[in-house]
Amino acid sequence: MPIAIPKQTDTETMGDERIPITVVTGCLGAGKTTLINHVLDDPGDRSVAVVVNDVGEVNVDTELIQGATDDIVDLSNGCLCCQLQDDLRLTLALLRDSREFDCLLIEASGVSEPIPLARTLLGMDDEEVDPTDEYRLDTMVSVVDSVGFANAFDTETGQLRDAGAGSQRPLTDVLVETVEFCDLLLLNKCDVLPEDSLDEVEALVRELQPNAELIRTIDAAVPPETILETDRFDFEEARRSPGWKHALASARSTDHDVEHDHGEHSHREHDAETESVADRIETLVYERERPFHPDRLNAWLDDWDGSIARTKGVCWIAGWDDDAMGLNQAGPSVRCGSLGEWNPDERTTRLVLIGTDIDEDSVTAALDRCLVRPDEGDVSRKPERGPFPRR
């Protein structure tokens, strides 16, 4: 593992003297290495150390980070969010013990999930080596390949296609997660798409992630202070920021435009800011206090409605009555499994569906047909070989 010797500089800073970490996430080919190269090219008066992660045996990105092959730590052959957590903790400790530098940049592999990685960096794994003794997580940057996003997100059908056939996890999952969990979004490769396509991509990205600052870039060219020492990151804020959480919170607090339907309600949200550029992208909140029939829900999940790009939420499913069943869909990847036991007062299905031209009535009716009917008797016995969990 080649470890670099970054330039020696004065590390005295005001207040918190721990080293700020900037994590760069994004799908394969989004422009993460390009961003890091750009920043290393002219980092101002900071010295920057870099950890680069690649899932393959050979870390191509280490080679590609220009003129800095001696200034980076190479963590290859595994993913920082799962197999290499221990290596990452130890690498950070070793780096800090042996070198002087002002900032640390971590390039996550194109398949790394951001939340487990952030948890490791925040010392939330309860391991002996705690990165927060010496480091603080400063910025989570998500580089979005606007061309790849436009290709993955079929604007005709509104569906996110799986760009990663054959991979362990569909890449659309990672694509959506890196957009949802970040505090800065670089919408990159803006030189390739026409303005109207960029507007569509930006509108969907905004629907998934309404909080983070969004900057359109070409060659990920941003001044170093945009991603280094920004003091932006807040774990709880980042966890709250996905668009589906906003929609859910808003549906709970808004009464005046809720449509009532047999004593229950569904609610469609319009975001005034995005409406002008992409008024076809919509968010539907579905809430019911009756359980789903497991087979009908499963059949509906198998035959996913093409207009829905993203769904997140919790379901009450007959037979799994004690379990709050989390539903997580991104494009063709549909997972559903227990999140733990229900709080008895809160056993209600709550789903947020985001997509293009969603036909609210037909989606709501289709979901309603999956509910247990009053004449069906007791279906609350968990079948021995039921359809859940779906992975």
Nearer to ligand GTP, 180 or 305 (CB): 180
* 171-180 and 195-208 helices, crossing angle to 10°: 80
Rounded CA separation 93/130 (Å): 8
227 in contact with ligand GTP (CB under 6 A): no
Nearer to ligand GTP, 32 or 312 (CB): 32
Taking CB under 6 A as the criterion, the residue among 38, 89, 189, 246 binding ligand GTP is 189
Taking CB under 6 A as the criterion, the residue among 3, 7, 18, 28 binding ligand GTP is 28
Q: In the complex, what is the shortest distance from the CB of residue 102 to ligand GTP, in angstroms, rounded to a whole number?
A: 23
Taking CB under 6 A as the criterion, the residue among 30, 73, 81, 228 binding ligand GTP is 30
Rounded CA separation 123/129 (Å): 8
Question: What are the strands of the beta sheet with 103-107, ordered from one edge?
Answer: 72-76, 48-54, 103-107, 19-25, 135-145, 184-188, 213-216
Q: In the complex, what is the shortest distance from the CB of residue 190 to ligand GTP, in angstroms, rounded to a whole number?
A: 6
Closest CA to 355 of 147, 146, 157: 157
Q: In the complex, what is the shortest distance from the CB of residue 164 to ligand GTP, in angstroms, rounded to a whole number?
A: 12
Report 139-178 residues binding ligand GTP (CB under 6 A): none
Residue 256 CB neighbour total at 10 angstroms: 4
Closest CA to 293 of 216, 198, 369: 369
Distances in whole angstroms, Cα of residue 307 to Cα of each of 22, 222, 292, 356, 371: 35, 34, 21, 6, 21
Residue found under tokens 């870390």:
59
Q: In the complex, what is the shortest distance from the CB of residue 268 to ligand GTP, in angstroms, rounded to a whole number?
A: 35
38 in contact with ligand GTP (CB under 6 A): no
Nearer to ligand GTP, 25 or 329 (CB): 25
Rounded CA separation 243/185 (Å): 14
Taking CB under 6 A as the criterion, the residue among 68, 144, 220, 367 binding ligand GTP is 220
Cis link prior to 383 (omega < 30° from 0)?
A: no
Q: In the complex, what is the shortest distance from the CB of residue 42 to ligand GTP, in angstroms, rounded to a whole number?
A: 17
Q: In the complex, what is the shortest distance from the CB of residue 27 to ligand GTP, in angstroms, rounded to a whole number?
A: 7
Task: By CB under 6 A, name the binding residues for ligand GTP.
Answer: 26, 28-34, 61, 110, 188-189, 191-192, 218-220
